[in-house]
Amino acid sequence: MKEEIKTTLSNLKKVGNYRFLRYVKPKSTTKILYNGKEYLNLSSNSYLSLHFHPAILDAARRALDDYGAGNCSSRSLSGSLDLYRTLEKEFATFKGYKRCLVFSNGFMANISILASITGPEDTIFTDELNHSSLIHGMRLSKAKKVIFRHRDIDHLHDCIKREKNRNGRSFVVTETIFSMDGDVAPLKEILWLKEKYGLYTIIDDAHGTGVFGETGSGIEEELGIKGSADIHMATFGKALGSYGAAVLSDPYTIRFLINKAKPFMYTTALPPSVLASSIAALNLIKNDTSLIKELWRNINYVRQQLSSLGFDLRESKGPIVPIIIGNEKLTLKLQRLLMEKGLFIQAIRPPTVPPKTSRIRFTVVRAFTKEELDYIIYTLFNSAKKLGIL
Ligand SMILES: Cc1ncc(COP(=O)(O)O)c(C=O)c1O
């Protein structure tokens, strides 16, 4: 067994696809220390830069004093602290859904939804670039999986027509904003197909929540279709600067998940300080829309500057900026050059993204100053030019 493991690892190294961990320490909201050197963090999903916000830190500290460090029980036993009730009630209202159920994280929420709600007799139409948690949930469900081309509504429509005589229910599963490409799913068109063919929709708004829509409730708000999915998943570990995830739906689906979703039932509930942080973050977003405006000022600036310098940002729209290189080794070279210049940035390679689409992916966050953004843009441009990428 050990020899097989070693061979797999050395093969990963050969194709430039080997991963290792970098241990870091935050220095400020946007800066981290790695091996004693300071970097601008371009790999954080804390889009609203809330993870060091004083109101959130205060709420977490108060929860530590009042509730202790750990929860030490599952949700169905004594782990359903009153903080969960507050968060679930307020988040459901914010998102425009009847009910909400908080999970330990987005990966477990997605696995839970797909593995407990869909079964072998069902058909799942899934975007080819959906997140790993959705893919693994589908595998566990044993439903028939039909993959449609990325964001291609005509292809989805053809797939639905082809499968329409199959027994069982049909589901369309998609991320709202794709985590590695930053582009937006055609949710309005999917809604049209849902109504025409009586399908169910499951959407993952991990990267849209706290970013899109006037109040920051997510992509559905941005598109004017708030609360329209059958099941909506959102996370607290990205724009909200905390940890955990939520499933939003109707009361029966939520009760069903409480009774059937194994990753919900058989795990220790979240620590109180985490729940209090999510509640505080939600209150901040609800009461201060300038947070979202400031984030978008940065997003628009970076996008406009990079495009005018000749970068092809594809169809990406929000804070996730992909620079697709293709070749894994060249992508790693660019990443190393950027790291040397103080930008903490990741090379994203297969299997996270499809073969030949390796890329530098970075995120724009609210707390970057204009000087920091200019430095990022200038360094990206110079490094890409040096390697002949532009
Ligand atoms: C689209 C998408 N869905 C789900 C997840 C999982 O969420 P979490 O990090 O809370 O487990 C992620 C996070 O990486 C994601 O990008």
Domain boundaries in the chain?
Answer: 11-41+289-386, 54-287
User: What pLDDT is stored for residue 354 in this prediction?
Assistant: 87
DSSP state of 143: P
The more confidently predicted of residues 349 and 26 is: 26
Mutation probe of ligand 1 site: the residue of 114, 179, 202 with most atoms within 8 A of C-beta: 179
182 lines ligand 1 (CB under 6 A): no
- pTM, two decimals, is 0.96
Residue 127 β-bridge partners: 148
Residue pLDDT, tens place only, 178-228: 999 999 999 999 999 999 999 999 999 999 999 999 999 999 999 999 999
Percent of the chain with pLDDT over 70: 100
If you average pLDDT over residues 44-67, what whole number do you get?
98
CA of 308 to the centre of ligand 1 (A): 31
218/302 Cα distance (integer angstroms) = 21
User: What pLDDT is stored for residue 1 in this prediction?
Assistant: 86
Res 265 pLDDT > 90: yes
pLDDT band, very low/low/confident/very high, at 349 (cuts 50, 70, 90): confident
Residue pLDDT, tens place only, 72-81: 999 999 999 9
The set of catalytic residues is 45, 131, 175, 179, 204, 207, 238
Cα angle for residues 245, 251, 257 (degrees, 5° grid): 50
User: What pLDDT is stored for residue 351 in this prediction?
Assistant: 84
CA of 235 to the centre of ligand 1 (A): 7
Res 230 pLDDT > 90: yes
Burial classification of residue 258, based on how many CB atoms lie within 10 Å of its CB (0-12 exposed, 13-18 middle, 19 or more buried): middle
Percent of the chain with pLDDT over 90: 94
Query: What Rg value do the Cα atoms of the chain yield, rounded?
Result: 21
User: What pLDDT is stored for residue 227 in this prediction?
Assistant: 98
The architecture that CATH gives domain 54-287 is 3-Layer(aba) Sandwich (3.40)
CA of 236 to the centre of ligand 1 (A): 10
CATH superfamily of 11-41+289-386: Aspartate Aminotransferase, domain 1 (3.90.1150.10)
Q: Return the structure tokens found at 147.
A: 């993959």
Give the Å distances, CA to CA, from 321 to 52, 108, 139, 363: 23, 26, 29, 6
Cβ contact 298:368 at 8 Å: yes
If you average pLDDT over residues 123-130, what whole number do you get?
97
Mutation probe of ligand 1 site: the residue of 233, 235, 348 with most atoms within 8 A of C-beta: 235
Res 17 pLDDT > 80: no
Atom of ligand 1 nearest to the CA of 236: 10
Q: Establish whether domains 11-41+289-386 and 54-287 are of one fold.
A: no
If you average pLDDT over residues 267-279, what whole number do you get?
98
Atom of ligand 1 nearest to the CA of 235: 10
Mean residue pLDDT across the chain:
96
If you average pLDDT over residues 103-126, what whole number do you get?
98
